[in-house]
Structure 1
Amino acid sequence: MKHPLPAHPEHICVLRLSALGDVCNLVPTIRALQQQWPQVRITWIIGKGEHSLLAGLSGVEFVVYDKGTGLAGMRELWRQLEDTRFDVLLHMQQSLRASMLSLGLKAKARIGYDKARAKDWQHWFTRYHLAPHPRAHVLQSFMDFARRLGVDPAITSGRPQWGLAIPEEAYHEARHLVGEASYLLISPCANPRLRNFRNWSAEGYAAVIDHAWTQYGLKAVLTGGGSTKEREMAARIAALVPQEALIDTTGGVSLKGLLALIERARVAITPDSGPAHMANALGTPTIGLYATTNLDRAGPYLWRHLAVNRYPEAVRTYLHKEVDEIPWGQRVRHPDAMSLIDAEDVIARLDTLLSESADEA
């Protein structure tokens, strides 16, 4: 039996496990649902690392699934929720793992992506589907779930809202690392995945850091995880700039501490990565560096106009096509694509931002 979609849902389940940038882009949908139905109960099934980023989000109950626990973790989560019946499940993760996880959840209605956007046979696991929305930004693809549920268009078309929770201890952590002075935040590395060529060069970052220091007296704060590649990138950058121009926090800050660092920054510079969307969510001006990823689909939503965007050129150079001739969001998986970004272009964006903020002051 196909239950109708509820006109006034009392309990909504959101299924989205990863990744850091994506869960940041999903939060405005949560806020839209809460604005439409202030008393609604929202349970979000989320990955372990993603939960550590969003913990404390107002009005949301989190259920954490550790992807490393496999089927045993699924069974444990099903037992945890065996007495819970949702009015609707928003299946917002396009993966077979998430679809398998959804099988053990009790929901009267299940909404998934339309056929054009669904992946890994997600269509088989849902009864209701989104209306087609070609060439949508990731944030708007998530917002389509609120639209499908009947949220007022005035809400879903308005300025996105976030309200991420940053505890006082995170601000203390940030102050301990960088002090009170103004700074530029640089997160140089994207998530290290196979054939993921989203990282710019150490030399490019060094040129920007040197300019910020010599022209504005603005230190750069490097952030990143503790992987070998991230530490090596940080070391290469540090070797190219004056010691006094840089504070390296790579591998030494929690996710909540990173939020605090980003929120306090004058500007963030980052490739397509989680920190780009964290900065966007916090209202920190963000200079995105895009060549392998489609900016219009995955750029920092409020700051796409500030990005250095070489994606169209990369598509022409390495795929020998135009952007409108390839699937929406297709990546350019070429190790040289990010070299299309010139340091002078990034510096020009930085100069514009800093001069505008000086005029406003």
Structure 2
Amino acid sequence: MKSDQINSIAIMRTSALGDIIWTLPMLNRIRKAYPNAKIYYITSNTFAPLIEGIEDIELIKIDKPKKLKDYFKLKRVFAPYNFDVLLCTQANLRINFIYPFIKAKRKIGFDSKRGRDLQKVFTSESIPFKKEHSVNAFLGFSDYLGIESKEIEFNLPYKKEEISQLPSDNFIVIHPKASSLQRTWPTKSYIELINHIEDNLKLSIVLTGVPSDKDICDTIEKESKANIINLCGRTTLNELKNVFLKSKMVIAPDSGPAHMAAALNRPVIGLYTAVPPEYTGPFGQIDNCINAYPRALKKYFHKSPAEVPWRFRVKEDDMMDLISVEEVFDKVSSIL
């Protein structure tokens, strides 16, 4: 199919927060390359507010299927559509089973290494494999369509909102928890870091997180001696964007909010042990990351990064202890 014959393109990505943000440069390249095509973005109701407001796209909001009957409900949702191109940018078993219910002349997925759970069975074409950051991996879809561009634009949409609880612009955001405790820096380390910041930099601290992070955030607020504004579980996605935009920097483990802050051009200190930040770190800010991945490989496997497979993950319960408070504080000081 020639480029001038493409009238409709759909992108499928229902989760998670960081992954959806990583698709935005690819989406923006496609919007510019195909100004006359109808662009659709298929995502979950949970994360649709993240990208609402992007011009010239139509959101198709779905609930991720949990039971067999949910797939037949989705079949009815997609019945009115017949896309020229479907970009299958999500590869797991639950999502792969959705693709047969979507009509499209071309279904383009990942290569066999990145297309998990036999995604290639459900697609007709695949992009080539490369060892690269996830943003570049998603840009591989626009490359595959023949779009030649070096621009990387997130243009994450947001509406300006005043957050009354915030201090002046002289504050740091700490988003302490990752999606798993294994990838979350110890609470005691956050408290010690905050106390160092209070003693030496005199900056206010704003804590953010989802409601399930409340125990960690409440403990940090209670046991540190700094002036803390605890917004954990109290912000919408749009409000969180506004909090990040007003901050001096964001400190977070490997998590969606870290990528949101990076997409909003805020300095981000990422705390990485499970995977190398070169692949999943805040895009364009790898030098700001604390990269304890080589230390973890040496401690637990007696290997170097060159000796393990691509995207090999460390999954040890105490691995985040390998990141010291001193090195994070030094990074904060150097960025400021």
Q: Are 1:207 and 2:203 counterparts?
A: no
- 1:293 maps to which residue? 275
- 1:23 maps to which residue? 20
**Post-superposition CA distance 1:283-331 (Å, at most 9, x none):** 0000000011221110001111111100011011112222122222221
- 1:234 maps to which residue? 217
In the alignment, residue 233 of structure 1 is paired with which amino acid? I
- Tell me if the contact between 1:222 and 1:247 (Cα under 8 Å) persists in the aligned partners: yes
Which runs of no fewer than 5 residues in structure 2 stay unpaired?
Answer: none
- 1:166 maps to which residue? 158
Structure 1 SS opposite 2:211? coil
- Once the two structures are overlaid, the 10-residue window that deviates more, 332-341 or 315-324, is 315-324
The 3 A distance-change label for structure 1 pair 58 and 180 is farther
- 2:171 maps to which residue? 183
Normalised to the residue count of structure 2, the TM-score between the two structures is 0.95
- 1:138 maps to which residue? 134
Deviation at 1:6, TM superposition (A): 4.3
Identity among equivalent positions (%) equals: 30
Mapping 1:49-198, distance limit 5 Å:
49-67=46-64, 70-133=67-130, 135-152=131-148, 155=149, 157-158=150-151, 160-168=152-160, 171-172=161-162, 175-192=163-180, 197-198=182-183
The 3 A distance-change label for structure 1 pair 131 and 7 is farther
- 2:323 maps to which residue? 341
Query: Aligned to 1:223, which of 208, 212, 227?
Result: 208
In the alignment, residue 179 of structure 2 is paired with which amino acid? N
Structure 1 SS opposite 2:300? helix
Greater helix content: 1
CA distance in 2, matches of 1:306, 1:106: 43
In the alignment, residue 275 of structure 1 is paired with which amino acid? P
CA distance in 1, matches of 2:260, 2:93: 26
CA distance in 2, matches of 1:255, 1:165: 11
CA distance in 1, matches of 2:309, 2:2: 31
- Tell me if the contact between 1:7 and 1:150 (Cα under 8 Å) persists in the aligned partners: no
Question: Which stretches of structure 1, 4 residues or more, deviate above 6 A after TM superposition?
Answer: none
Deviation at 1:68, TM superposition (A): 5.5
CA distance in 2, matches of 1:270, 1:93: 24
CA distance in 2, matches of 1:318, 1:11: 49
**Post-superposition CA distance 1:211-255 (Å, at most 9, x none):** 32232321010000111xx2221122123312x521111111111
The 3 A distance-change label for structure 1 pair 144 and 322 is same
- Tell me if the contact between 1:5 and 1:149 (Cα under 8 Å) persists in the aligned partners: no
In the alignment, residue 154 of structure 2 is paired with which amino acid? W
Q: CA RMSD in A?
A: 1.6
Deviation at 1:9, TM superposition (A): 2.0
Query: Aligned to 2:304, which of 309, 322, 346?
Result: 322
Which runs of no fewer than 5 residues in structure 1 stay unpaired?
Answer: 355-361
Normalised to the residue count of structure 1, the TM-score between the two structures is 0.89
In the alignment, residue 191 of structure 2 is paired with which amino acid? A
- Tell me if the contact between 1:210 and 1:241 (Cα under 8 Å) persists in the aligned partners: yes
CA distance in 2, matches of 1:94, 1:148: 17
**Post-superposition CA distance 1:104-144 (Å, at most 9, x none):** 111001111112221100010111111221x2111111000
CA distance in 1, matches of 2:59, 2:79: 16
Structure 1 SS opposite 2:270? strand
CA distance in 1, matches of 2:53, 2:312: 34
Structure 2 SS opposite 1:30? helix
Deviation at 1:70, TM superposition (A): 3.8
In the alignment, residue 238 of structure 1 is paired with which amino acid? E
- Matched residue count: 336
CA distance in 1, matches of 2:114, 2:7: 28
CA distance in 2, matches of 1:315, 1:252: 37
In the alignment, residue 198 of structure 1 is paired with which amino acid? R
